Amino acid sequence: MADGFLSYFIAHEYICMDIRVVMFEDNKLVRDAMQAILNGTAGYDCTGAYPDGNNWESDIQRSKPDVVLMDIEMPGLNGIEITGLITEKFPDIKVLIQTVFNDSERIFQALCAGASGYILKNDPPNKYLEAIKEVYEGGAPMNTTVAKKTLGFFSNKNVILVTPSGHDYQLSDREKELLKCMVDGDDYKKIADKLFISYETVRTHVKHIYKKLHVASRSEAVMKAVQQGLI
């Protein structure tokens, strides 16, 4: 009886835990506003907000985030460099790139550095909260405009494309439909609405797609789909 109650309590506490978010942002107005939004929204806790990444490692160790909101342009180390350092040193931490820039080269560099998602600063606060939650749950949000520019970057052959090997990844028709939505930049909710399935079903399909494609993130899945003509 006691063990069952303890298990329930632990599970309940885990479910109710806030998402711990740290922000690296050199604009004080943006930093203060986002910190206020996070701390004023149930389920989120901003455990640190820093104007630069010069002390990124000690800042991360002190604030223990689940998700990092990372600006690209900052004094000293830029956000792409810090993203690479964080994902190498703390692989369990998810990094969500935020910037006013939406050019393809920066997008590609951020994804290659290990970013789990990408959002533009002119996106509304609710989009930020949704993106943070999706990254925390293992997804990889990407602004639709950003997704299209990333595909343009690939199609213009600014990177060396992998020659299609003809390997059959055993993707089902539904998984191919869902992968196409991911390539188009749709988030999980939009995919669910578009394919008339539940949010949790989308997450299950995505896990299966990752396993079949031997990838660990949305950016890798999208890259592989485009490079090998899987959709």
pLDDT in tens, 89-126: 998 899 998 877 766 677 777 877 888 888 888 888 99
Ranges in the chain annotated CATH 1.10.10.10: 160-227
Residues 185-223 have pLDDT tens digits of 777 888 999 999 998 899 899 889 988 988 767 777 877
Residue 229 exposed, middle or buried by CB count within 10 Å (0-12, 13-18, 19+): exposed
> From CA 83, how far away is CA 99, in angstroms rounded?
13
CATH among 3.40.309.10, 3.40.50.2300, 3.20.20.70, 3.40.630.30 for 2-152: 3.40.50.2300
The pTM of this model reads: 0.66
Mention the CATH class of domain 160-227: mainly alpha
Torsions phi, psi for 117 (to 5 deg): -170, 175
